Amino acid sequence: MPSPPPGILYETDGPVAIITIDRSSARNALDHAAEAALAEAAERMAKDETILVGVLTGANGTFCAGADLSEMAVKGSVYKAWAGADGPLSNRPAKPLIAAVEGYAVAGGLGVALWADMRVAGENAVFGVFCRRFGVPMSDGTPTRLPRVVGQGRALDMLLTGRPIHAEEALRMGLADRVVPQGKALETALEIAHQIAGFPPLAMMADRTAALEAFDYPEPIALVNEAEGASAAKSQEAQAGAARFASGTGRHGDLGES
């Protein structure tokens, strides 16, 4: 598959893919070409069997300022939803994705951050529905995914007021999973990604799927799906893992070797 066009960079670090939004002149806001390229990068990560985890970040100290409103402002332009039937953020990435957020993750950039499984935020990170004041709807997955992450009340606060949420508040409400010194978000996200990549993959992916689908079904059905999804890991990974634990690996909180 050819590399994505300029605006979205794709590189690898062993079993980890690094996807970088690089449109610094627009504070990494996404135009239509960059939206499509972001989806292509996720597909590329999914199809590469050597890649187990992805990290998504923005170049030059900004994560993503949302949709490129200069493109949207052109008369006759069509604003296509990023999430929905066929938008670039409609489906979750097939593999775990960690967002490394420095600076602004606002408007559609918040939706891009929520597309990831986890968010590592620099101390300077700011999240928010800044497009509220311009009458631009959050058709990027945010109204659906944000309540699942922070709860309905906090989600409505963000969606209705458009106020900025700084890193420490984002951590308290569960929007950010880690807060690190400014400039360290990517480094920390890569450390976490490599740790995840070192775990037996079947069990990790089964648990991820069950968690992502937890709100999609009544609890009894979700529990059946969870058990069925775990069956391959139980037959192929669990016995060997139990033997390692019995031999002393991983006790007393030590993650041990994968």
225 confidence band (pLDDT: 50, 70, 90): confident
96 and 12 in a common domain? yes
Nearest to residue 249, comparing CAs of 68, 17, 240? 240
Which of 166, 181, 197 lies at the terminal end of a domain, its last residue? 197
State whether 188 and 122 are in the same domain: yes
- Checking if the pLDDT of 76 tops 70, the result is no
Asked if 98 and 53 touch (Cβ cutoff 8 Å), the reply is yes
Confirm whether 115 is domain-assigned.
Answer: yes
Residue 3 belongs to a domain: no
| 165, 219: one domain | no
Count: domains in the chain: 2
- Each residue's pLDDT tens digit, 97-139: 999 999 999 999 999 999 999 999 999 999 999 988 888 788 7
Residue range 180-207, pLDDT digits in tens: 999 999 999 999 999 999 999 999 999 9
Judge whether 2 lies within some domain. Answer: no
Domain that holds residue 220: 201-251
Same domain? For 178 and 217 the reply is no
